Amino acid sequence: MNNTHQEVPIHKIGCIQPHGILLVLEASELMIIQVSQNTETHLGISPEELLGKKLDRIISSNQIEQIKPYLEEKEFPGMDCLEVIVTNHKNEKLFYIGHIHRYEQTLLLELEKDTNQEEVSLIDFYRSSEFSVSQINNDLTFDQLCQIFAQEIRKISGFDRVMLYEFDYDWHGKVIAESKIEDIDSYLGLHFPAGDIPPLSRHLFSLQPLRFIPDVNYRPVGFFPETNPITQEALDLSFSILRGVSPIHIEYLQNMGVGASMTISLVKDNQLWGLIACHHKTPKFASRGLRMACKLLAKILLLELANIRRTHNYQYQVQIQNKEKDLIQIISNKQNLFENLRQYKRQFLDLFEAEGLGIYLGDHYDTLGRCPRKQQVIELIEWIQNNYHQPIFYTNQLPKIYKKSEAYKTIASGVLVMSLSNNPWQYILWFRQEQKHMVNWAGSPNQLVYLDKNQKLHPRHSFKQWQEIVDGKSLPWQTIEIETAFGLRKSMLEIGFQEMNQLNQLNYELQQKNQDLDAFAYIASHDLKEPLRGIYNYANFLLEDYGDRLDKDGVYQLETLVRLSKKMANLLDSLLEYSRLGRANFSYEEVNLNEVIEQVLDMIKGRWEENSVTLNIPRPLPIIKADGARLYDLYINLLSNSIKYNDKEDKIIEIGYLNETEMLSKFSHHQLHQLNDPPFIFYVRDNGIGISSEHQRKIFQIFKRLHPPEKYGGGTGIGLTIVQKIIERHGGKIWLDSIVDTGTTFYFTLT
Ligand code: ADP
């Protein structure tokens, strides 16, 4: 069941309240075609008698002539507070106040008795409103202003309670001001659930700003005929001031102990912003004049509220705009927008009142303050991309719309995500922490309505305070913040665009240089290798054919020539491989690391069998997103080294990874953060010769070897450089732990 007051079509409720009469007129001839059933009570003329008559049956032609020009206007908006003299069955003149509006081809005229005796005199009203206005000054807070108006409206209207509700974006209403007689409970600060005022009622409130129910126990008055003869449907009473009240709302008011109510809507920028609700324990009539006076006060209040909000926001607005200006200045003055983003994280974070800033560029995730982890942010961005196709996404209750964020709601219940590019990812994210707070509801919001045994819907009985702890919400993002985010994005894209043009130029030049390099690598590998092979071959022929004619020195020199040329060929091969690695496109797909290791072991089986090697893989390796072929090269290099640089009888090698808990027990949060919060840390461990700490940094340098080639069968000194490059291209890092003579562990991440 819907937890709301039932959505009956209340604008077609088929009845009015009895404190006035309603006449439906055919617009061109002003002929009465439908009337409320209470004309007899008011005028002593039965509905049957009125039907088919022209309006001048009860209102003098003179008066009709005066208003006719208005009625004939195409865009006739309706007229209120028309003073009309109505003739009853005894030909007596009665004073009525009229309200007339057009509905399709008809005019609806509503007449209420002019209750002179209760009328607020113009002087009284002037005095009261002048007093209210005179209390307004620049030092008033928003709440104080609302309070003054609640008091003033109660003073002139005489209702037992006057409350000012403000709607939030969920349409829950909060009582922000109240003036009341002493012996009723206060509702100040309480929240009224959105379901109390269903969307249709809210819509009607914005069409007809004053709703008056002088007696909740009224007897509804139907129409004669029942349906509108032109439309053949129930009469549409959306703009009517006498419209009948839905039974469930009547019961709701009765449960609240209300005998009469008057509600004035506060509409700002065509949006229902709040309500002024006036309640009286017993039936209470407020004259048209009084109602108009209250409506006018509400208008003044709205104007003043807008003023106060503007002044209040002004300071924050100026502050935020200055920060934005400074930020744009900084980033546009420097080269490389995206490097600047990282450098000026503090300024970006300070732009809004947020606790965390994430910058996601390409594969890199950089943070400041309290932020979700990289993987979580990747998933969040993917979710936003799939569900919201807008450059700026914001919410102050992420867990409500995105369940996965429950896990990190304490640090990011609120997010503002700015997308600069989807390909590659360029995102800036501001995070707002959860603000747990208590909400006092007027009755439980979970049980607004219930069905009785006859399946009839009833509103709740209790309006007793009911407390709820609200979680998963942050402070809301203000309009000025959203506007600033849009402005900043635009400026950044403009700066980025200019930069991109420069970059394009640079890229073009670089491409040219790369092509030159490619050509060089080709010459190096092919053209240089050719003569080198010749040198190698001829030196060998010399050794074979003339070796016996040379003395010992001669043979040694020739052997050195062979060795050096072979080494040079190897170096050229490595150089070629390395230079290709920097430019090649990597293809990232799901890779099962266990399969990669299997292929690697297949490849190095020979070396494996020559040595006595024990291999441990404590548990199956995970499946990750990576370039499988490059990971193969990576493991070949690391495993070859761990066999090569190992002089133990029994060589023990372990291949494994650390999961989240193991990572946390071994590394600090800060360290993991520096590593971009990887999902895994991989390692290759051996019990080999180890590397002394002073050499540990050098081993990744190109052509750097710690041993002469004859020792440990060393290579070209490029293996680890290639390993490092592969890892960097994956967005990861490599480092090691080593103890001389005990062993080495190489750790690496791949994101
Ligand atoms: P190479 O091709 O000479 O093996 P690498 O770049 O792979 O070059 O390694 C650089 C140097 O780092 C090696 O010369 C060796 O001294 C040292 N090294 C590499 N791996 C290990 C290891 N597992 N144990 C000890 N030393 C190592």
pLDDT for 1 equals 39
The CB of 412 under 6 Å from ligand 1? The reply is no
Summarize the confidence of residues 603-607 as an average pLDDT.
Answer: 82
Range(s) of the chain covered by CATH 1.10.287: 478-584
Task: Pick the residue whose CA is nearest to atom 14 on ligand 1.
Answer: 705
Summarize the confidence of residues 35-43 as an average pLDDT.
Answer: 95
Query: What atom in ligand 1 is closest to the CA of residue 689?
Result: 25
pLDDT per position as a tens digit, 471-496? 899 998 988 899 899 988 988 887 77
Range(s) of the chain covered by CATH 3.30.450.270: 343-434
DSSP 11-42: GG-S-B-TTEEEEEEETTTTEEEEEETTHHHH
Task: Pick the residue whose CA is nearest to atom 21 on ligand 1.
Answer: 641
Report for 68-72, 130-134, 143-147: range of highest mean pLDDT: 143-147
The CB of 707 under 6 Å from ligand 1? The reply is yes
- Provide CB contacts within 8 A for 177, sequence distance 6+: 143, 146, 147, 149, 150, 163, 164, 188
Query: What atom in ligand 1 is closest to the CA of residue 722?
Result: 6
Exposure string of 617-628, with b = 16+ CB inside 10 Å and e = fewer, is eeeebeebebbb
pLDDT for 343 equals 81
Summarize the confidence of residues 569-581 as an average pLDDT.
Answer: 75
pLDDT band at 2 (very low <50, low <70, confident <90, very high): very low
Poorest-pLDDT segment among 57-61, 98-102, 375-379, 546-550: 546-550
Poorest-pLDDT segment among 548-552, 632-636, 744-748: 548-552
The CB of 679 under 6 Å from ligand 1? The reply is no
| Ligand 1 center from residue 678 Cα (angstroms) | 26
Query: What atom in ligand 1 is closest to the CA of residue 714?
Result: 3
The CB of 743 under 6 Å from ligand 1? The reply is no
Pocket test for ligand 1, best of 633, 645, 695, 704 (most atoms within 8 A of CB): 645
Homologous superfamily of 117-220+242-312: GAF domain (3.30.450.40)
- Dihedral sign, CA of 376, 378, 381, 383? negative
Report for 288-297, 402-411, 481-490, 726-735: range of highest mean pLDDT: 402-411
Residue with tokens 């070396």, as numbered in its chain: 607
Summarize the confidence of residues 175-200 as an average pLDDT.
Answer: 88
Residue with tokens 């590659």, as numbered in its chain: 424
Q: Is the pLDDT of residue 63 over 60?
A: yes
| Ligand 1 center from residue 569 Cα (angstroms) | 20
More confident residue, 363 or 127: 363
Poorest-pLDDT segment among 377-386, 466-475, 497-506, 517-526: 497-506
From CA 543, how far away is CA 562, in angstroms rounded?
A: 9
Summarize the confidence of residues 421-445 as an average pLDDT.
Answer: 82
The CB of 714 under 6 Å from ligand 1? The reply is yes
pLDDT for 170 equals 74
Query: What atom in ligand 1 is closest to the CA of residue 705?
Result: 14
| Ligand 1 center from residue 360 Cα (angstroms) | 35
The CB of 717 under 6 Å from ligand 1? The reply is yes
Pocket test for ligand 1, best of 640, 699, 707, 738 (most atoms within 8 A of CB): 699
The CB of 706 under 6 Å from ligand 1? The reply is yes
Poorest-pLDDT segment among 251-265, 309-323, 388-402, 492-506: 492-506
Report for 283-287, 337-341, 504-508: range of highest mean pLDDT: 283-287
Give the number of other CB atoms < 10 A from CB of residue 326.
14
The CB of 110 under 6 Å from ligand 1? The reply is no
The CB of 689 under 6 Å from ligand 1? The reply is yes
From CA 737, how far away is CA 512, in angstroms rounded?
A: 41
- Dihedral sign, CA of 406, 408, 414, 415? negative
Poorest-pLDDT segment among 116-125, 481-490, 578-587, 595-604: 116-125
The DSSP 8-state label assigned to residue 209 in this structure reads S
The CB of 702 under 6 Å from ligand 1? The reply is no
Q: Is the pLDDT of residue 416 over 70?
A: yes
pLDDT per position as a tens digit, 686-712? 999 999 988 888 898 877 777 776 677
Residue 476, preceding peptide bond in cis (omega within 30° of 0): no
pLDDT per position as a tens digit, 203-224? 888 888 899 999 999 999 999 9
pLDDT for 674 equals 77
| Ligand 1 center from residue 653 Cα (angstroms) | 15
Report domain 586-748's class.
alpha beta
Summarize the confidence of residues 68-73 as an average pLDDT.
Answer: 78
pLDDT band at 526 (very low <50, low <70, confident <90, very high): low
Spatial strand order in the sheet of 106-113: 79-87, 93-103, 106-113, 20-26, 31-36, 223-224
Q: Is the pLDDT of residue 504 over 50?
A: yes
Tokens read off for 666: 């071994």
Instruction: State the chain's mean pLDDT as an integer.
Output: 85
Summarize the confidence of residues 672-676 as an average pLDDT.
Answer: 81
More confident residue, 679 or 573: 679
Q: Is the pLDDT of residue 511 over 70?
A: no
The fold for domain 478-584 equals Helix Hairpins (1.10.287)
| Ligand 1 center from residue 518 Cα (angstroms) | 28
pLDDT for 141 equals 80
Range(s) of the chain covered by CATH 3.30.565.10: 586-748
Q: Is the pLDDT of residue 330 over 60?
A: yes
Summarize the confidence of residues 165-183 as an average pLDDT.
Answer: 88
The CB of 536 under 6 Å from ligand 1? The reply is no
| Ligand 1 center from residue 247 Cα (angstroms) | 86
The CB of 731 under 6 Å from ligand 1? The reply is no
From CA 694, how far away is CA 409, in angstroms rounded?
A: 45
What pTM, to 2 d.p., does this model score?
0.56
Q: Is the pLDDT of residue 556 over 70?
A: yes
Beta bridge partners of 275: 165, 265
More confident residue, 5 or 103: 103
Homologous superfamily of 343-434: PHY domain (3.30.450.270)
Q: Is the pLDDT of residue 512 over 90?
A: no
Summarize the confidence of residues 542-548 as an average pLDDT.
Answer: 87
pLDDT for 497 equals 60
